[in-house]
Amino acid sequence: MVPLKTEMKTQILEELTLPTSTGTNGQVLTTDGSGVLSFEDNATGTDLTATADGTSLTVESSSGNNVALPAATTSAWGIMSDEDKQPLLNLLGMKRLRDKKFLIH
């Protein structure tokens, strides 16, 4: 078994079988759906671009599967607007000063 480094805090109780090779440049890691991973050429390469305007975020895909994320409201999930984000950033900045562990840019 090989440990994988992740930033996730959730424990996953699935077993993955890693390939024995490192693959080649441009290949992607795929699964057979049963936890067996292998390197394959990326036949359907997709380029992604993101556009944010302060109240929404749009992720555009070269395959045409675009996603638009609206601004969050008190009753619906979404992107935090710049206006709503500023008080949070101010609070974080004050905490950093209080902790004297971080510099505010």
What confidence tens digit (pLDDT) does each residue in 19-49 have? 888 888 878 888 888 888 899 887 766 777 8
Read off the tokens for 88: 């949070």
Task: List pLDDT tens digits, range 59-104.
Answer: 888 777 788 888 888 888 888 777 777 888 888 776 665 555 544 4
Whether residue 14 contacts residue 35, with contact meaning beta carbons closer than 8 Å, is answered with: yes
Read off the tokens for 10: 């959730």
- Element spanning 81, H or E: none
Nearest to 45 by CA among 23, 27, 66, 68: 27
Rounded to whole angstroms, the Cα distance separating 88 from 53 reads 19
Rounded to whole angstroms, the Cα distance separating 37 from 2 reads 13
